[in-house]
Amino acid sequence: MKFNFHTNSFEELEINQDKPCIYGSDKSLTWQETYNHVIKLKGAIESLSIPKGHPVIIYGHKEAHYAISILALIHLDIPYIPIDTIYPNERLITIQQSSNSQVVINCTNKTLPLIFAAEINLDCSVNISCTPNYNEDNIFWNANDPLRYIMFTSGSTGEPKGVQITNTCLLSFLDWIHQDYGYSKDDVFLNQSPFTFDVSLYDLLSSFSLGASLFLVSREQAKQDDFIDKIKQYGCTVWTSTPSFVYLYLRELNFNSSELPQLKTFVFAGEELPKRTVKTLFNNFNACRVINAYGPTEATITSTWITLTDEILSTYEILPIGFPKRDSDVMIEPIENDNPIGEIILIGDHVSTGYFKNLEQTKEKFFTIEGKKAYRTGDLGYYKDDMVFFNGRIDNQIKFNGYRIELGEITSVLNDLEIVKLAYTVPLKRGNDVKAIISFVQLVNTNDATANNVKEAIKPKLPAYMIPKNIIAIHEFPVNANHKIDGKQLVENFKKGLYK
């Protein structure tokens, strides 16, 4: 059994009915049970007469019912808006007010902080508080290219931006996965990223479309002592996460191919991938495949990829983010004359139609090139040997003492040091003026190295104006809901004197 996203329907219903489909944080389901749950949920949704194109909010974390809700809404041509339980109440309220969604599917036993016109609960019971108002201003229906989901990301103004992903975008991504990634129905995908982070769809879409199995890893499960045992028990073959997440397990004695012989593929996205992480994986896992991928939410999960090799590790100081996905293009728009580094522009069917109810920012970031959709990423990059390399954010370039500095370059040099496990660099500002550069590091062995050792080690590698004023050794990095290093929290902790 599998779900065909091209025909928007289940297929091969009689095949592998008892095969595991979802290992959720609350329960595990076979493919037959998953199918039954989707059909039951579809009935509950249809009882509310929700028009195609009216967005429905899904609230939860890593429950099996969350994945079922995504599939049921896609099946009904109703766009979904994912909300995670880690979100503060204010963010949920803001998104509900912005989208004017009248319906929520609550995958938890929690009482929500606001009242929807209709709420569908775990058992598919429907609670109606008032008559839903499906006004025309809140219906986004295009029969030729229906909206699949609206994913709200952090905006520079502090207000979340809703990225609209249509059926064309989704199919463009899935076709690429099916043709180039080599996955099969026998794979078991580890799904760690919250559903509010589109990297989570790497695994969900691949698993459902192939008839494979999906292990939904909750925040709580990831912290438990038996997490790696669960990976072994379920026979996980594909690991997808940010580099920061896999880093937590690299030094675990049982995180290797002897203990996890079926784990063969690692896919990383969302952050710059340190070479040290790849080297450790190559040492720990025999003949494993490590894929480095890149792409913003605005271009449907990821847009470039490359399978890393020992040769690539030894040839390049910074790892490439690879080649454009099939049937797409990556253009580097120059910022300065005679400088190969410029803004990364993504072009193709996978590019979003724009931001939800935000025409101004849509016009600023989205445009067309020769009739094809294009998106200005705000990321810097360059081509070398026909591959794309990431060179930080435009807004991560700072002007300090008259010099233009890329903070990511400092971090990369730090991460290459043998005495450093992981590093991150931030500017300290007063208003818009940068007053100092500070780097935070985790050390391999605090008995043998100090922050002063680190500073001395990078002096031959960087010009004097790029040497951080302070290098601070910390025990662990704060991370956000998507398990990326939280730079803002680092600065706040430093200002509060929490790092000595």
Pairing of strands 161-166, 354-355: antiparallel
For residue 420, what is the enclosing H or E element?
strand 420-430
Structural domains in the chain, sorted by start: 2-294 (3.40.50.12780), 401-495 (3.30.300.30)
- Beta-carbon contacts of residue 278 (< 8 Å; ≥ 6 apart): 290, 308, 313, 319
Give the torsion through C-alpha atoms of 118, 120, 300, 141, to 10 deg.
-40
303-351 pLDDT, tens digit per residue, is 999 999 999 999 998 999 999 999 999 999 998 888 899 999 999 999 9
pLDDT of 482 reads 75
pLDDT of 156 reads 44
- Structure tokens that stand for 460 in this block: 């031959």
Backbone angles phi, psi at 321, to 5 degrees: -90, 0
Q: What DSSP character marks residue 316?
A: -
pLDDT of 27 reads 94
Contact status, residue 330 vs residue 303, Cβ threshold 8 Å: yes
* Cα separation, 355 vs 339, whole angstroms: 31
Q: Which of 123, 151, 193 is nearest to 58 (CA)?
A: 151
63-72 pLDDT, tens digit per residue, is 999 999 999 9
Q: Which residues of the chain have pLDDT under 50?
A: 156-157
pLDDT of 345 reads 98
